[in-house]
Structures are given as structure tokens and as C-alpha cells.
Structure 1
């Protein structure tokens, strides 16, 4: 059996509405929302009594999706640190954008913080990392012509 595509990337957040607003401002489209619970969810995540709200957002081309999850039960036993982006296990997702500066400006209104600086790689790319809701690290990359 062979993998034929990536289905989605998921992030657990405490503020689902704020996270959805952040990704929609980035340019993704809300695909749908759902409340989930029951035996199948417990089996999937390996916990008992799971109750969660989910939202899926997708890129405008429809090829990539992000799942945003807020768990109401059971209570979380740990908190992901706001560790530097070079920490093993810290997830990040990068999006191609047409104007890094414009997107960065719009995301700052939703609480995004620039991790380092906007950097330019030769005459090929402008690239930066921002930390969004719940510390989620998002890369923004602009291809230069």
C-alpha cells in the first residue's frame, strides 16, 4: 500500500473561534465544523470520554486542510511550551503567499507574533515564521520573481 496524498495537519487549540479567524485571515476557507464524541473518538485518540469541537479549514486550491480541535473532556494533562522553532517535536506548517508583508500585517491584528525576522534567501524567497493562536508556528513564504 502506498500513500497517495496528505489528508490534513491538525492542531489542538483552546480558543477554536480565534484559531479559525486566524486561519481565515491567512486566506484559508472554512470547510466545516463539528462536535465529536463517542466510542470511535475514544478509540482514535486513546482516551476515555472525549468531547471535542473541530473545525476544518482548507487552502483556496482545495489541496491542503488544517484541522483545529478544542477538547472539552477529558482535561488536558500538559501544556505545549512556546519553545523555539528548532525544538524537536514542535510542529509548524508553511504556506506560500503572494506578499509576506501584507499577510504578516493582517495576521498581527489576530495576535500573530513574528518569531525572528522576515528573511530573504538570495533572489528566490522571502520567508518568516509567525506564532499564532496557542503558539502555533506558521511559516509564510513568498517566491520572488
Structure 2
């Protein structure tokens, strides 16, 4: 038995439009947007009376998708602390390889992106940083130097 592929990573957001704008500015494309509800959906995720809207974002000409989810019912739960540090258990961040880390940051700042730490050089191989976007999403950026 083998894994065929990883289809997507799901991220719960409180403002779907802002999250779409953020990931579009990063360079992803909106593949589709639709409401998800009904008893079948609630049974999959283990929530009664679930109503949500999803937006599927894709990387142009490459594998990799994000499923952005806005829950209308039940309301999304805000974790404590609401801005979790890097050593918090669970899904931590999504990392993207980019051509130019500074140019990417400049595109994302108008969409609320803030550096978590700083842009740092790893040996002579990568520039790396973490940034926080809409709904507290942590995104990693890596620019290969060699």
C-alpha cells in the first residue's frame, strides 16, 4: 500500500476574501470557491449542523494546493493563545519556495503580512523567514541562493 499524492492542506480562516487576496498576492491562483454543507459534510469533519465555504488555491504549473475554509456554523474556535508561538503542537506553517524573498514580502505586506522573526540566511543555501498572514496563518518563505 502506497500513498498516491498529497492533495491539499486545509486552513481555517475567519475572512475568506482576505485569505484569497493574501495567497493570490503570494502567487497562487483561485481554482474554485463553493459552499459546503449538509449532513455528509458534518459527518466527515465531526461537526453537527456544519455550514462552510471553501476556496481552493493552487500553485500555477506546479503541484500543491491549499483549501481555505470559512466556517459559518459552528463558528470557528480561536485557540489560546490566539497568536501561538513556533513550538505549539499541531500544524505549524506552510512553506513556499520563492524566487525573491524581499519582493514577495513587499507584495504580501499590503495584505497584512508581518514577519514573525527576521529574514535569515542558512549557510549559503537559503534565505528563510516566517510571516503571519490573515487569521494568524504562519507562512514560511525560502529563497534558494545557490
Partner secondary structure for residue 83 of structure 1: coil
Q: Which residue of 2 aligns with 1:112?
A: 113
The two structures have a TM-score, normalised by structure 2, of: 0.95
1:50-129 to 2 correspondences below 5 Å: 50-76=50-76, 78-80=77-79, 81-129=82-130
Partners in 1 of 2:92 and 2:5 — Cα distance? 19
Q: Does 1:2 align with 2:2?
A: yes
State how many pairs are aligned: 144
Conservation of the 8 A alpha-carbon contact between 1:33 and 1:56: yes
Partner secondary structure for residue 116 of structure 1: coil
Question: Deviation string for 1:23-52 (max 9, x for gaps)?
Answer: 000000110000011111011111111110
Q: Which residue of 1 aligns with 2:138?
A: 137
The two structures have a TM-score, normalised by structure 1, of: 0.95
Question: CA offset at residue 84 of structure 1?
Answer: 1.2
Question: Deviation string for 1:115-140 (max 9, x for gaps)?
Answer: 00000011100000000000000000
Question: Deviation string for 1:33-83 (max 9, x for gaps)?
Answer: 00011111011111111110100001122300000000101233x312211
Question: CA offset at residue 90 of structure 1?
Answer: 4.2
Q: Does 1:28 align with 2:28?
A: yes
Question: CA offset at residue 91 of structure 1?
Answer: 2.3
Runs of 4 or more, structure 1, over 3 Å off, are none
Partner secondary structure for residue 21 of structure 1: helix
Aligned-pair RMSD on alpha carbons? 1.0
Partners in 1 of 2:2 and 2:30 — Cα distance? 29
Q: Does 1:49 align with 2:49?
A: yes
